[in-house]
Structure 1
């Protein structure tokens, strides 16, 4: 007798709200598809398919929310330094950085160091 089901059903119709929860958990928590599969009783590939299905549907639904300026508008308003180093640039995305103390491990220091700010920062995109 198994405590957990040894085999996950091959074809499961997952309700739309649950698909959205899977998608949001992956974005917010950054956990693996395998971990999400355990939480929802699905195979990791099913969770992966659900994630990319929701992503593509959100892209299609929200594509018009962010207008894409014409290339002429972008070139006319681009900073001079970008025109030299990044002539094909279409977007500049800025993020907020908040200074923090030096992290204890090398891995954390590498992840949090900002060359732009010259110190350790938390980044909010």
Structure 2
């Protein structure tokens, strides 16, 4: 992992950013907790996210098919022995964009609010192997799968599951 992250970001900034991600506290509460201004907390968060994301990006990779099979959970071994990935779309609520075009792109009929969606893939034992870029909440899961480059990342002769194990896809 990138050990130089500490040269780019103060440990308190990491703490503030991780607390914001974990609790989704409003900036005003974080400002009170850390005795800083709301604007300063917002700036820390905005500045820290790309740095932390860059450092953690190294932890997202595809292990070999052999490694995945070694760590395959016992309940998977008979019925899902070729599964290398379980995918789901994560939908996160966002503030309503001021631009009407972006409002329409991010509106989610499912959540009844404006959202961003990400495709996340993990091995059957839970290791994250892929995170797509953000898509507006209006995008269907099928569109996200086809436009996210996920299918290009899959190894040959594998299978993947969608969300609730009801849809097994062979490739």
Q: What's the TM-score, normalizing by structure 1? A: 0.42
Q: With CA pairs under 8 Å and 6+ residues apart, which has the higher RCO, 1 or 2?
A: 2
Q: Which has the higher helix share?
A: 1
Q: What's the TM-score, normalizing by structure 2? A: 0.32
From the CA coordinates, give the structure whose radius of gyration is larger: 1
Q: Which has the higher strand share?
A: 2
